[in-house]
């Protein structure tokens, strides 16, 4: 490992530190202004898909993009995509060195997330793309990405998550996320029925702006985006992207074709054929709302399968049984031949132990199997040769599975590689 990569790796031990002072100071030393249009996306579910679809459609319109998202699956460079492709290792190292030098000169300690985000800003500085698409890491008000002068802010669906950090109620969480509103700029929000959460968002929009960032508080222009309650995740993403790009006067006529072209790694992604000839379908449904929303799509896929295998592992949940119940119901309705339980190893929090997962009421035709890590799944799947395998739960689980099967190629990690339309 090079010295600069060792430094980056060491920043992980600094933990998560919400706040804007550190990253803002470094950013001011490295980037003076932006000519690119900046789209800033926050929310509980679907924000990554919205970012990826936006980038895919803009690139199909021959508009250049840089997209920053997190976390990554296999390579940290995936967090920064230039026209859909992860940034090169060489270019990333160059940005790391510059950030490291600035950190030392200012006597600061940046977090891993802050470093990778700042690298994306340097990329935009150098490339000057038409559009810079940015996904928040956590929350919004004190997320490092908030320092950017976004032209439009977008809020996807909001659910109870990270309550230890963002607040104990939906309204408190909504307020933290809605604080990405910029003064005198457009903020688009997926309509929400909870009246207190709705009021919290409206308040943040009226009082948009953080003086510590040099912003003069002034109302944002708030627009609610209506989404049918029965809409799929893809349909919701389509509606939100359509509203965002329409506001920025981009052509949206072929947005449905862009959705077909999209290959968002680790999110409702087909990977075929595997070494044994079967298909993987992977999705990082990391919270109760996300898992519940994706189940209808999965159920439809399974209706055409004679047999299938489930691979599941997740990070801690407030209520594990509630989180997993839609998956348990799916197994009861259409029993898999095998259920493989495992424990993600690389996440911010330790994965849920096998002892807890095994206690759940799994329905399958063969005994439930388990492994201590996703890396041990390769020989099991290779021997069983399932026609269709659903891998769901933590994004870290999917990343470790990609690692085990060496799914590093462009067709797996690029947003819109050739010949991936489905």
Higher pLDDT, 161 or 18: 18
Is residue 378 in some structural domain? yes
Residue 422: pLDDT band with limits 50, 70, 90: very low
Find where tokens 């308040």 sit. 203
Is residue 420 in some structural domain? no
Is residue 20 in some structural domain? yes
- For residues 257 and 280, membership in a common domain is answered with no
Would the pLDDT of 93 be above 90?
A: yes
- For residues 228 and 150, membership in a common domain is answered with yes
- Boundary residue ending a domain (261, 283, 311): 261
Is residue 321 in some structural domain? yes
Please count the CA atoms within 13 angstroms of the CA of 185 that sit on its side-chain side: 26
Distance CA 216, CA 272 (A): 52
Is residue 421 in some structural domain? no
Question: Where would I find the beta strands (DSSP E) of 32-71?
Answer: 37-42, 65-68
For the chain, the straight-line distance linking the first and the last C-alpha, in angstroms and rounded, comes to 39
Distance CA 380, CA 7 (A): 36
Is residue 188 in some structural domain? yes
The proportion of the chain whose per-residue pLDDT surpasses 70, expressed as a percent, equals: 96
In the structure encoding, which two tokens stand for residue 199, read together? 């009021």
Whether residue 377 contacts residue 342, with contact meaning beta carbons closer than 8 Å, is answered with yes
- For residues 123 and 209, membership in a common domain is answered with yes
Whether residue 410 contacts residue 88, with contact meaning beta carbons closer than 8 Å, is answered with no
SS3 call for 268: coil
Q: What distance lies between CA 306 and its chain's CA centroid?
A: 32
- For residues 202 and 307, membership in a common domain is answered with no
- For residues 26 and 72, membership in a common domain is answered with yes
Say what the pTM is.
0.90
With residues binned 3-state (H G I as helix, E B as strand, rest as coil), the percentages for the chain, rounded to 5, are: 45, 15, 40
Is residue 72 in some structural domain? yes
- For residues 203 and 315, membership in a common domain is answered with no
Is residue 418 in some structural domain? no
- For residues 344 and 201, membership in a common domain is answered with no
- For residues 336 and 256, membership in a common domain is answered with no
Overall domain count for the chain:
2
Q: Read off the pLDDT of residues 374-419 as tens digits, 9 standing for 90 and up.
A: 889 999 998 999 999 999 988 889 999 998 888 877 778 888 776 5
Q: Read off the pLDDT of residues 196-205 as tens digits, 9 standing for 90 and up.
A: 999 999 999 9
- Boundary residue ending a domain (261, 277, 306): 261
Whether residue 133 contacts residue 54, with contact meaning beta carbons closer than 8 Å, is answered with yes
- For residues 228 and 311, membership in a common domain is answered with no
- For residues 39 and 85, membership in a common domain is answered with yes
- For residues 8 and 152, membership in a common domain is answered with yes
- The range of the structural domain enclosing residue 115 comes to 3-261
- For residues 251 and 279, membership in a common domain is answered with no
Residue 281: pLDDT band with limits 50, 70, 90: very high
Q: Read off the pLDDT of residues 149-193 as tens digits, 9 standing for 90 and up.
A: 999 999 998 876 665 666 679 899 999 999 999 999 999 999 998
Using alpha carbons only, give the angle 122, 127, 129 rounded to the nearest 5 degrees: 110
Q: Is 44 exposed, middle or buried (0-12, 13-18, 19+ CB in 10 A)?
A: buried
- Boundary residue ending a domain (235, 261, 287): 261
Distance CA 259, CA 79 (A): 20
């Amino acid at each position: 490992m090079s010295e600069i990569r060792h430094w980056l790796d060491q920043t992980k031990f600094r933990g998560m530190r919400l706040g804007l002072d550190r990253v803002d100071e470094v950013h001011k030393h490295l980037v003076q202004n932006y000519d690119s249009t900046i789209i800033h996306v926050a929310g509980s579910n679907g924000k990554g898909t919205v970012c990826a679809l936006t980038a895919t459609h803009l690139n199909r319109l021959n508009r250049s993009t840089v997209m920053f998202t997190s976390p990554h699956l296999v390579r940290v460079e995936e967090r920064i995509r230039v026209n859909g492709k992860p940034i090169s290792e060489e270019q990333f190292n160059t940005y790391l060195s510059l950030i490291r030098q600035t950190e030392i000169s200012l006597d600061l300690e940046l977090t891993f997330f802050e470093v990778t985000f700042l690298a994306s800003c340097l990329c935009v500085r150098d490339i000057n793309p038409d559009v810079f698409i940015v996904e928040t890491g956590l929350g919004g008000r004190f997320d490092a990405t908030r320092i950017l002068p976004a032209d439009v802010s977008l809020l996807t669906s909001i659910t109870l998550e990270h309550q230890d950090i963002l607040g104990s109620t939906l309204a408190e969480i909504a307020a933290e996320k809605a604080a990405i509103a910029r003064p005198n700029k457009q903020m688009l929000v997926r309509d929400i029925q909870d009246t207190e959460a709705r009021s919290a968002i409206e308040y943040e929009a009226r009082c948009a702006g953080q003086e510590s960032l040099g912003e003069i508080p002034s109302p944002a222009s708030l627009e609610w985006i209506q989404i049918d309650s029965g809409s799929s995740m893809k349909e919701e993403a389509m509606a939100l992207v359509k509203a965002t790009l329409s506001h920025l006067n981009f052509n949206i006529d072929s947005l449905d074709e862009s959705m077909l072209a999209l290959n968002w790694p680790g999110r409702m992604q087909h990977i075929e054929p595997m070494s044994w000839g079967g298909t993987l379908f992977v999705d990082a449904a990391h919270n109760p709302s996300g898992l519940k929303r994706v189940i209808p799509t999965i159920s439809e896929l399974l209706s055409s399968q004679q047999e299938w295998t489930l691979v599941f592992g997740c990070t801690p949940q407030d209520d594990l049984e509630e989180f997993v119940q839609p998956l348990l119901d799916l197994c009861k309705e259409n029993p898999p031949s095998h259920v493989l339980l495992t424990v993600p190893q690389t996440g911010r929090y330790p994965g849920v132990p096998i002892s807890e997962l095994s206690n759940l009421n799994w329905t399958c035709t063969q005994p439930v199997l388990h492994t201590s890590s996703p890396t041990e799944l390769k020989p099991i799947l290779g021997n069983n040769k399932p026609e269709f395998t659903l891998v769901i739960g933590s994004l870290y689980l999917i990343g470790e599975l990609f690692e085990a099967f060496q799914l590093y190629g462009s067709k797996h990690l690029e947003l819109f590689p050739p010949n991936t339309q489905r």
